[in-house]
Homo-oligomer: A and B are copies of this chain.
Amino acid sequence: MNMRRTTIKDVAEAARVGVATVSRVLSGGSASPETRERVLTVAAQLDYRPSALGRNLRQQRSGGIGLLLPDITDTFYGRLADGVLACARSAGEPVILGTTGDDEEREAELIGMLLEQGVDRVIAVPSGDSEIWAPTLRAGLTTVFAHRNAAGRDEVPSVLADDRTGVRTAIDYLTGLGHRRIAYLGGPGQKQRLAAFRQALGALVDEELIVLARGTRDSAYAAAAGLFQHRPDLTAVLAGGNLLGEAAVLAARELDLRVPRDLSLVMFDDVPWAELCSPPLTVIAQPARDIGYRAAELVLRAGGRRPRGVLLPTELIVRGSCGPRGTSRSPR
């Protein structure tokens, strides 16, 4: 009953060779054809499965990829994770998932856990900035940032969506429709996106129309509702993520703002329900899955090299949530 698992030693004995030879055969080292075949046969017969534990200890690293996301509940990160998993699976590497909740402290804690586990490859959507990631890099972890990059960590390669162009085309679209008072509803860690918004809007930028929420649904809704109530003169809003967009739709409905008649809405990130909304939401689609996949490729292929980052294209998908600027809704 108390079966010990078959080890490399068992295989070696059964094949009448040394353990070193078995190890070589299984890791693709050189061996004579007949020996190789015999070892493989015996290994298959005994249903031998190499123990990752032994191997990991020996080579001082647990294969596997650490994946640190703000929130696995958000479909954007879900798709990103899916991409990572797809790539990791093709490489036979396990993925250790952790969620940071956009909290630096939790992020640091998770990094510590990964270090302890001997994980030496990490894909992260960074929440914290420079000093949190410093020990990680010093410890020799190959790290790739996805979706956004940590401030002051330019040496870490990153896989990003082309936020700048995405924001610009969205703003161009809105201004082309006649909108002038355009609000930005942002989330945590989107300095890049916010900067692009400011730049694209140029002289039209109104700091009061820029609102930042934390990562939760409640916070997003509060930010949206507050914005709409405080500044009834705005005619368009760019939501910097699907959570923010959801909040905007909800808040608009609550305040009896009709979309797109009273309020034009563009949302970052295309999600399935964007089409189900009425009106269907105009969105800036991001290749979330590709971001994950490419990040995984980078972190796996990195043979000590420090590859250059990747910028993936975004796409403005026009549906029905934007219209020409009507009369301002504030002075009825």
Chain A: residues with CB nearer than 8 A to chain B? 49-54, 56-57, 60, 62, 64, 67, 71-75, 78-79, 81-82, 85, 89, 92, 94-99, 112-118, 217, 246, 249-250, 271-273, 275-278
Partner of A246, one of B54, B98, B272: B272
| Alpha-carbon gap, A117 to B97, bound state (A) | 15
Contact B73 A78 (CB under 8 A): yes
> Using Cβ atoms and an 8 Å threshold, which residues of chain B touch A75?
73, 75, 78
> Using Cβ atoms and an 8 Å threshold, which residues of chain B touch A67?
97
Partner of A82, one of B62, B73, B85, B117: B73
> Using Cβ atoms and an 8 Å threshold, which residues of chain B touch A89?
98
When A276-B246, A277-B276 are in contact, do A97 and B116 touch as well, CB less than 8 Å? no
A53, A74, A99, A117 — most chain B CB neighbours (10 Å): A53
Copies in the complex: 2
Partner of A72, one of B62, B71, B72, B246: B72
A61 — nearest CB in chain B belongs to which residue? Answer: B53
When A273-B273, A276-B277 are in contact, do A97 and B97 touch as well, CB less than 8 Å? yes
Given contacts A50-B116, A53-B117, A249-B276, 14 further A-B contacts (CB under 8 A): A49-B116, A52-B62, A56-B57, A67-B97, A71-B82, A72-B81, A73-B75, A75-B78, A85-B97, A94-B98, A95-B96, A246-B273, A277-B277, A278-B278
Partner of A98, one of B57, B85, B114, B217: B85
Contact A276 B273 (CB under 8 A): yes
> Using Cβ atoms and an 8 Å threshold, which residues of chain B touch A49?
112, 115-116
When A57-B54, A116-B52, A276-B277 are in contact, do A82 and B95 touch as well, CB less than 8 Å? no
A247 — nearest CB in chain B belongs to which residue? Answer: B272
| Alpha-carbon gap, A52 to B120, bound state (A) | 13
> Using Cβ atoms and an 8 Å threshold, which residues of chain B touch A94?
96, 98, 113-114, 117
| Alpha-carbon gap, A74 to B78, bound state (A) | 8
> Using Cβ atoms and an 8 Å threshold, which residues of chain B touch A275?
250
> Using Cβ atoms and an 8 Å threshold, which residues of chain B touch A72?
72, 78, 81-82, 85
| Alpha-carbon gap, A116 to B56, bound state (A) | 11
Contact B113 A97 (CB under 8 A): no
Contact A62 B53 (CB under 8 A): yes
14 contacts between A and B (CB under 8 A): A49-B115, A52-B118, A53-B117, A71-B82, A72-B82, A72-B85, A75-B78, A78-B78, A81-B97, A94-B114, A94-B117, A97-B97, A273-B276, A273-B277
| Alpha-carbon gap, A60 to B53, bound state (A) | 8
Determine how close the nearest CB of chain B comes to the CB of A55; give it in whole angstroms: 9
| Alpha-carbon gap, A60 to B7, bound state (A) | 12
A54 — nearest CB in chain B belongs to which residue? Answer: B57
| Alpha-carbon gap, A51 to B116, bound state (A) | 5
Contact B272 A217 (CB under 8 A): yes
Partner of A276, one of B71, B118, B250: B250
| Alpha-carbon gap, A226 to B64, bound state (A) | 43
